Amino acid sequence: MKIVVLGAAAGGGLPQWNCGCVNCNDARAGRLRSSGQSSLAVSADGSRWSILNASPDIRQQMQDRPVLHPQGLRDSPVASVLVTNGDIDHIAGLLSLREQTPFDLFATAGIHEVLEGNRIFDALARDKVARCRVALDTPFALHDGLDAMLFAVPGKVPLFMEGETVDTGLIGEQTVGVRLSDGRSTAYYIPGCAHVPDDLLDRLSDADHLLFDGTLWDDDEMIRSGTGIKTGRRMGHIPISGPDGSMVRLTGLAANKTYIHINNTNPVWREDGAERAEVARQGWQVAHDGLEIVL
């Protein structure tokens, strides 16, 4: 199995268009790597590919990765797209894939309902793009040789669907993780997760590689930096650090581990920083656009 990180950042990317934080300014100046919004490409054979989450940056992300270039006049090696929730940074890129080339679109019934509730997504012609509704905990083929299974993780509804009261620990079809297997190795992709319950730890015990939500270093990062008014948990994302953060909760996992979906304010972007050194000591790497993982 081959995994290519198309985008390592959370919604807004790095730099974010309206942000003048230290990380964004350094990314604009070339002192930090820029990053597109969270998305993966995965393949069992290096020929046919599936995209996990269609970020708003998908056109440029595909342009930057020759394995995703067409091999004919009207062609694409992309067999399917899978979306893990209805957030804008994971579905908006579907609108850039509307040019009449077939692929399968996989999601839970709940996420398909989000797409069907907005007619702009009808731009994906139904005679070309098959809407494939996937039940939780039921394996299916993303493409020949690569199986996937979706499972619920704690999360919330998309931001644009929030009401006055928001449950950030919902368990259901609105936020899912993905188990990937080619019959030889197993990877998990969980770009959004509000906390790590014991049953999730049990599920991940067979992982060879885990790509996990690294949105914020600590829960009040955005409040403290003056870039937002919400904690990470209020946004549905467990922080990396702290006694109940993801680094501690996942410390016993034997898999190789990569943080992805990283907010522009997160200090782990800084390769010479104490936070990057700490995640490395705990056995993690930090994703970047173009990172290749071969299992």
What is each CA distance from 190 to 146, 187, 293, in whole angstroms?
A: 18, 10, 16
Asked whether the beta carbons of 210 and 253 are under 8 A apart, the reply is yes
Residue span of the structural domain in which 54 resides: 2-294
**Alpha-carbon gap, residue 223 to 214, rounded angstroms:** 17
Over range 77-90, report the average pLDDT. Answer: 94
What pLDDT is stored for residue 233 in this prediction?
78
Q: Is the pLDDT of residue 160 over 90?
A: no
Over range 142-168, report the average pLDDT. Answer: 78
**Alpha-carbon gap, residue 247 to 157, rounded angstroms:** 25
Over range 64-80, report the average pLDDT. Answer: 96
What pLDDT is stored for residue 235 in this prediction?
78
What pLDDT is stored for residue 157 in this prediction?
59
Span 163-190, pLDDT tens digits: 666 666 667 788 899 999 999 999 999 9
What pLDDT is stored for residue 219 in this prediction?
86
Number of domains the chain is built from: 1
Look at 139 and 237; give whichever has higher pLDDT: 139
Span 97-125, pLDDT tens digits: 999 999 999 999 999 999 999 999 999 99
Domain of residue 178, CATH code: 3.60.15.10
**Alpha-carbon gap, residue 147 to 260, rounded angstroms:** 21
What pLDDT is stored for residue 223 in this prediction?
86
Q: pTM of this prediction?
A: 0.94
At 278, which helix (H) or strand (E)? helix 274-281
Three-class secondary structure of residue 92 per DSSP? helix
| Region for residue 78 given its phi and psi (left: phi exceeds 0; alpha: psi -120 to 50; beta: otherwise) | beta
Positive or negative CA dihedral for 6, 7, 11, 17?
negative
